[in-house]
Amino acid sequence: MWSDYLVETELQGRRSVFTGRASEIFVRQNSQWINPGWHTDSTK
The model's pLDDT over 5-32, given as tens digits with 9 standing for 90+, comes to 999 999 999 999 999 999 999 999 999 9
Which phi and psi (to 5°) does residue 22 adopt?
A: -135, 145
β-strand partners of 33: 28
pTM, two decimals, is 0.60
Residue ranges making up the domain that contains 28: 2-43
What's the number of domains the chain is made of?
1
For 24-28, which contacts have Cβ atoms below 8 Å and span 24 or more sequence positions?
26/1
| DSSP per residue, 1-44 | -EEEEEEEEEETTEEEEEEEEEEEEEEEETTEEEEEEEEEEEE-
At residue 43, the pLDDT reads: 75
CB atoms within 10 A of CB 40: 13
